[in-house]
Amino acid sequence: MEVNNLFRYVDASSRIEIKDAFVSVLPVNIDSKDVLLESLALKLAFPDYFGFNWDALFDCLRDFSWIEERDILLVHQELPKLSSEELKVYLRLLRDAILDWRPGEAHRFGVVFSLVDKESVERLLRDG
């Protein structure tokens, strides 16, 4: 597993196992913001009050009070098929949520992408 900045990048053949962690793997073929938000809400067990918008997503990624495990890992098997602008917003939101967690807080949040998406992720964040 390679760590670059805040996101982790793994080879497709790698298996992600972290002891005592809440690991959530997003499905492939996410083709819209709505499908992405619905998938995140389901896979991360968001509370019923989740508002299905970017602000609500950030709020939930900074809470996780409903999850027992301290370490929470969100795994992307592939990048969501969003417009370039929406993907930039999503990636920045993930980055900002990770940066906002402080040592000693109740949870630690991590995000994993496929190694084949590394260049795209870094370019989209850089161009943002």
Model pLDDT, residue 1: 38
Give per-residue pLDDT as tens, 52-76.
999 999 999 999 999 999 999 999 9
Domain map of the chain by residue range?
2-127
Q: At what angle do helices 84-100 and 33-43 cross, to 10 degrees?
A: 30
What's the pTM value of the predicted model, to 2 decimals? Answer: 0.90
Question: Of 54, 91, 122, whose CA–CA distance to 99 is shortest?
Answer: 91
CATH number of 2-127: 3.30.370.10
